[in-house]
Amino acid sequence: MMAERPSDPSDHEAREIVDARLGRPPRDAIEAAIVLEAWDGRPAARALSVATDLVDPSAPAPVVKSRPDPVDERERTSVLAEAVALVLSVLSVAAWAGPLGRALGADIVKDAISYGLPTALALQWALRSRYLSRPDGLALLAREPAVACTTAILVEVAVVAQPRWGPLAALLIATWVGGTVLIRRGWGLLYAASLAASTVALDRTEHPYAVIGGLTASTVLLCLVAIWTRRRRSDERPGGAAAALMAALLGGGIGVLLVADPSLGWGVHGLHPAIALVPSVIGSFWGGYYLWNLYRVVPREMSGVPIKRANRAGPAGGAMRILLGSIARLIGATVGLSLVVVLLGRWTRGTDEVTVFVAFGCAALVTLMVSLLESLSLRRAAVLVVAAALSVELTWRYAIDTSLAGSALAVGALAGVVCALPALILLLSRPGRVLATTLWIR
């Protein structure tokens, strides 16, 4: 016998809320209760009571899929695309530092990277938050060209107005951010080819601005084509402006964390710091890719579980296992690839300081945790983590007299990790209420 529709007007409203947020009938009472808690602010007991009336008891039990939904796979691809774009950007810094330093001066290159890298990361994180993390991200971006273009122009004008290093920083920012869009479009090989061609050209010319300017112009033009050719109707909505601004703040903070330690020698030591960064970048994105298993494991574990039991702390649950597995992959890849870089010897001379690899590994770990907190809507906690990491790094830099390369970055990043772990453990140990809501109710 079909369950009767609720007669209370507030319960009619509850059914409409659940239908609107899920776009389908709820699988079970716990899913409906989570929606009502998240979007209607109902207490857990009241939400569960109403949710029971919204579920058809005669409907077949939900089938737990053994593989992620196609939408999740597209989102995972987006994460990998960002990884490729960032690795290519890092390698471009490594390849261009020498020629640019000889032509323009090491101080100009250092300042351009020190200001350009945090700005580029801020824009990349904002793009991901509002557009690119969604399956129809480019279509959403094409729907709001005025917003995106105005933001980009304002940022570039503010940067290029700075004396000495401003023009170079503006070109680097446009190239790096544009690369993220091209990778998301599936044009990663084209972007990589343009970076490689520019690297060769820089070694053979005395006019570096002409080379970098040409690369930037072609990248921006390809971005416009990539977005224009993705125009189509979509029922998706872009992320909130406030969330995008918060993501930009977090991305910029991570960028500042990377460049605030002068012992790393960005733009001064040539390709060395950028090459040393590659292992941790690859490790962090492998760990981040593994985190997407939360979309598969958590629903499977929560299927048919009463809401009271689902909300109990469980440090040995699937969500915690995935977090630990992600951290293990990050550390393992970083250590293994760092050994490879050291063993290459003459090709990477200057990056064989163990402390440099440790520093970048710690930075990758705190970046992973900040990104996870941001994706789970714990943005205030993420901001506090970044603020703590920067505070400790700057305090170490100015208060501790040490010549140990990368020590300030390592200590600051570890402080951020220590601050992030309690919030993540508290969240992931109670997947029934908080994790399911923040992952699937957007």
Query: Using one digit for the tens of pLDDT, what is the confidence trace for 124-140?
Result: 999 988 888 887 888 88
Q: Which among 310, 438, 319 has a CA at the least distance from the CA of 35? A: 438
State the DSSP H helix or E strand holding residue 227, giving kind and residue range, or none if neither: helix 208-228
d(CA 378, CA 370): 9
* Cα 227 to Cα 318: distance, rounded to the nearest angstrom: 38
Instruction: Please answer whether residues 419 and 385 qualify as being in contact, where contact means their C-beta atoms are separated by less than 8 angstroms.
Output: yes
Q: Residue 311 has what pLDDT?
A: 58
Total-model pTM:
0.77
- Read off the DSSP letter of residue 8: S
Q: Are 142 and 231 in contact (CB under 8 A)?
A: yes
Residue 76 phi/psi, 5-degree rounding, is: -60, -40
For 189-207, how does the pLDDT look when each residue is reduced to its tens digit (9 = 90+)?
788 888 888 888 887 888 8
Distance CA(260)–CA(393), nearest Å, equals 8
Query: How many angstroms separate the CA atoms of 230 and 137, rounded?
Result: 9
- Rounded to whole angstroms, the Cα distance separating 26 from 22 reads 7
Residues 280, 357: contact at Cβ < 8 Å?
A: yes
Q: How far from chain centre, in Å, is Cα 284?
A: 10
Helices (H), 105-240: 106-127, 137-143, 145-160, 166-185, 188-202, 208-228
For every one of its 442 residues, what pLDDT tens digit does the chain have, with 9 covering 90 and above?
Answer: 334 444 444 566 777 777 766 666 776 676 777 777 666 667 766 777 777 777 766 555 554 444 444 444 555 555 565 566 667 666 766 678 778 888 888 888 888 988 998 999 999 999 988 888 887 888 889 888 888 889 989 999 999 999 889 999 999 999 989 988 988 888 877 888 888 888 888 878 888 889 999 999 999 999 999 999 988 887 778 888 888 999 999 999 999 998 888 887 665 555 566 677 788 888 988 898 888 887 777 766 666 555 555 555 556 677 888 899 999 999 999 999 888 887 776 555 555 577 888 899 999 999 999 999 988 888 899 999 999 999 999 999 888 766 788 889 999 999 999 999 998 988 887 766 544 445 444 4
